[in-house]
Amino acid sequence: MAGKVVLHYFNGRGKMESIRWLLAVSGVEFEEVFLTTHEQYEKHISDGDLMFGQVPMVEIDGMKLVQTKAILNYIAGKYNLYGKDIKERAMIDMYSEGLRDFMEMIMILCFTPPMELKTKLENIQAKATGRYLPVYEKALCGSQYLVGDQLSCADIHLLEATLMMEEKFPEILKHFPNVEAFQGRMKVLPTIHKFLQPNSMRKPQPDEVYVTTVKKVLNKLFLE
């Protein structure tokens, strides 16, 4: 196992999916150990693997990293996806944090009671078109990337987020031509194209099996 990157999470998207995206785009092969029982989760805690009792957890470079933002920043820094200097990193962080806030709204939809789903979707769509997409549309005006002149983790997060948007709202990008064109450019990059193919490590939208497993493993505590 020495040298291998190992992801410990559920067999689904959740907070691990952005980590999978960064690794895949960087051309890094990784293995996954899926949590399926509460006993597995408790063992990680008793072994001291989970600093705050939360997953995701990633084994990389001899470390067991937790906390999603810390993991993403480590991978981005390691694989040259984190800008050229501290000012670029600050901009990358701002764009990335906005996208993570948005994606989390979609991420938790699968745990939403059916009677609340329609209202939640309407709220997400309104925020996507009124708060989030205009920011990225402006940033991409005359620019290939969100920050500087090279690919960053913020670009990868934006692609992931727009694909998630289109799964729920297929026509959502039609009024945001810069974002739509950006998505088209990103999808043909070799490692991204590979990750978007069937049978890749990319996970599908969450289903009832995923929801049930998460509840069972975490004993309904929702500590993702």
Sign of CA dihedral 201, 180, 132, 22: positive
Q: For the chain, what is the domain count?
A: 2
Burial class (CB in 10 A: 0-12, 13-18, 19+), 173: buried
Asked if residue 92 and residue 37 are part of one domain, the reply reads no
Q: Residues 70, 46: one domain?
A: yes
pLDDT single digits (tens) 180-194: 999 999 999 999 999
Average pLDDT (159-183) is: 97
CATH number, position 19? 3.40.30.10
Determine the Cα–Cα distance for residues 71 and 65; give it in Å rounded to an integer: 6
On whether residue 224 sits in a domain, the answer given is no
Co-location of 101 and 153 in the same domain: yes
Query: Do 57 and 102 lie in a common domain?
Result: no
Residues 202 and 180 both lie in one domain: no
Mean pLDDT, range 21-33, rounded to an integer: 97
Q: Does 222 reside within a domain? A: no
d(CA 74, CA 130): 31
How far is 107 from 46, CA to CA, in rounded Å?
28
The radius of gyration of the chain from alpha carbons, rounded to an integer in Å, stands at 18
Q: Assess if residue 223 is contained within a domain.
A: no
Do 176 and 112 belong together in one domain? yes
- How far apart, in whole angstroms, are the C-alpha atoms of residue 15 and residue 20? 10
Inform me whether the pLDDT recorded for 221 exceeds 60.
no
Range of the domain at 141: 86-188
| pLDDT of amino acid 1 | 42
C-alpha–C-alpha distance, residues 70 and 61, integer Å: 14
Q: Are residues 91 and 75 in the same domain?
A: no
Q: Answer whether residue 183 is part of any domain.
A: yes
**Residue 213, H or E segment:** helix 208-217
Phi, psi angle pair for 58, to nearest 5°: -130, 125
Q: Is the pLDDT of residue 2 over 60?
A: no
The answer as to whether 23 is a domain residue is yes
Whether residues 63 and 146 fall in one domain: no
Does residue 96 lie in a domain region? yes
CATH number at residue 147: 1.20.1050.10
pLDDT digits (tens, 9 = 90+) for 122-149: 999 999 999 999 999 999 999 999 999 9
* Structural domain includes residue 172: yes
Indicate whether 18 and 45 sit together in one domain.
Answer: yes
Q: In this structure, are 136 and 174 located in the same domain?
A: yes
Q: Is residue 26 part of a domain?
A: yes
Exposed e or buried b for every residue in 35-50, given b needs 16+ CB within 10 A? beeeeebeebeeeeeb
DSSP code at position 173: T
pTM recorded for the entire structure: 0.94
Task: Give the mean pLDDT of 193-216.
Answer: 95
